[in-house]
Amino acid sequence: MRVSLFRHFPIVKQSAVLFLHCALCPSASIHSFFASSVLSVPSALTPFLLFLHAILSAEMDADLQFMQEALAEARASASAGEVPIGAVLVYDGKILARSGNRTIRDNDPTAHAEIIVLREAARLLSNYRLANTALYVTIEPCSMCAGAIIQARVPRLIYGADDPKGGAVRSCFEILSNPSLNHQVEVSSGVLAAEAASILQSFFAARR
């Protein structure tokens, strides 16, 4: 007769599955937090940890998926000779608008990827306020785009790499977290940052 440790001790199975999942997933530090937590907390807390992990994991997976789409827009911009930054605007869990930078093609200094998707989404929703949306962009937004995010009341911003030469979320300015504003944006940074930065670096290296 085969004895299953997992069958007799379901909590062992839960912990083992969670640990393996987290240990095998290199995409986010939250996984390593859960992987270490599950081994150190009393087993009675494991179901709670699993529940919390499931919620956070689903959001992180969605963030990674949408950021991949923004990266695809960045690559398309590079092919068109534009500075490779891409953005997607998500509404109700679906992509409503997507674009890369178009400043050179359109002779328009305001045609950053973020501005284009905000305009397109507002047009599609027939509303200049973009409630229940999330903006994904490969590089930290500049001051113009951060201002537009506030004007549009975008509730959530997810970006990849920081921009030390113009980023207006935390690198050069901290526009979104200014306490004088009555709109607060929830910000997640560093999502697929290495890939976003690498696309930008390759683009500029090829032009030198």
Report, as residue numbers or ranges, the catalytic residues: 114
Please, is 125 exposed, middle or buried when counting C-beta atoms within 10 Å of its C-beta (0-12, 13-18, 19+)? middle
| Residue from 124, 122, 173, 126 nearest 146 by CA | 173
* CA–CA gap between residue 51 and residue 117 (Å, rounded): 34
Binding flag, residue 112, Zn ion (CB under 5 A): yes
Binding flag, residue 149, Zn ion (CB under 5 A): no
Q: Which is nearer to Zn ion, 38 or 113 (CB)?
A: 113
Binding flag, residue 142, Zn ion (CB under 5 A): yes
Contacting range for Zn ion; rule: CB under 5 A; set: 44-52, 56-64, 143-151, 181-189:
143-151
Binding mask 159-198 for Zn ion (x = CB under 5 A): ----------------------------------------
Q: Which is nearer to Zn ion, 147 or 190 (CB)?
A: 147
Binding flag, residue 145, Zn ion (CB under 5 A): yes
Q: Are 114 and 120 in contact (CB under 8 A)?
A: no
Binding flag, residue 53, Zn ion (CB under 5 A): no
* CA–CA gap between residue 83 and residue 102 (Å, rounded): 8
Binding mask 64-103 for Zn ion (x = CB under 5 A): ----------------------------------------
Q: List all residues 6 or more positions away from 129 whose beta carbon is below 8 Å from its beta carbon.
A: 152, 153
Sheet arrangement for strand 94-100:
94-100, 86-91, 133-139, 156-161, 186-188
Least Å distance between CB 205 and Zn ion?
A: 22
Binding site for Zn ion (CB under 5 A): 112, 142, 144-145
